[in-house]
Structure 1
Amino acid sequence: MDERLLVASHIKPWSKSNNRERLDVNNGLLLCPNHDALFDKGHISFEKDGLLLISNSLDKYSKIFLNTNETMKIDLKVEQQKYMKWHRDNLFKIMNNTIINKLAIE
Structure 2
Amino acid sequence: MSGYLNKDLLIASHIKPWSKCDNFEKVDPDNGWLLLPNFDKLFDVGLISFDDDGHVLISELFTDAEIFSIKKSLKIKLSRGSRKYMEYHRTNIFKY
Does 1:29 pair with 2:46?
A: no
- Compute the displacement of 1:33 (Å): 1.4
- Compute the displacement of 1:66 (Å): 1.4
- Compute the displacement of 1:3 (Å): 3.9
- Compute the displacement of 1:81 (Å): 0.7
CA distance in 2, matches of 1:43, 1:87: 11
User: Where is the helix percentage greater, Structure 1 or Structure 2?
Assistant: 1
> What TM-score comes out, normalization by structure 1 length?
0.81
State how many pairs are aligned: 92
Alignment of structure 1 residues 11-90 onto 2, 5 Å: 11-59=15-63, 62-90=64-92
Could you list the runs of 5+ residues in structure 1 that have no partner in the other structure? 97-106
Q: What are the Cα deviations for residues 7-50 of structure 1, in whole angstroms up to 9, with x where unaligned? A: 21100000111111101111012222111100000100011011
Larger RCO (alpha carbons 8 Å, 6+ apart): 2
2:59 is aligned with what amino acid?
S
RMSD: 1.1
- Compute the displacement of 1:83 (Å): 0.4
- Runs of 4 or more, structure 1, over 4 Å off, are none
CA distance in 1, matches of 2:17, 2:11: 14
1:40 is aligned with what amino acid?
D
Q: Secondary structure at the match of 1:82?
A: helix
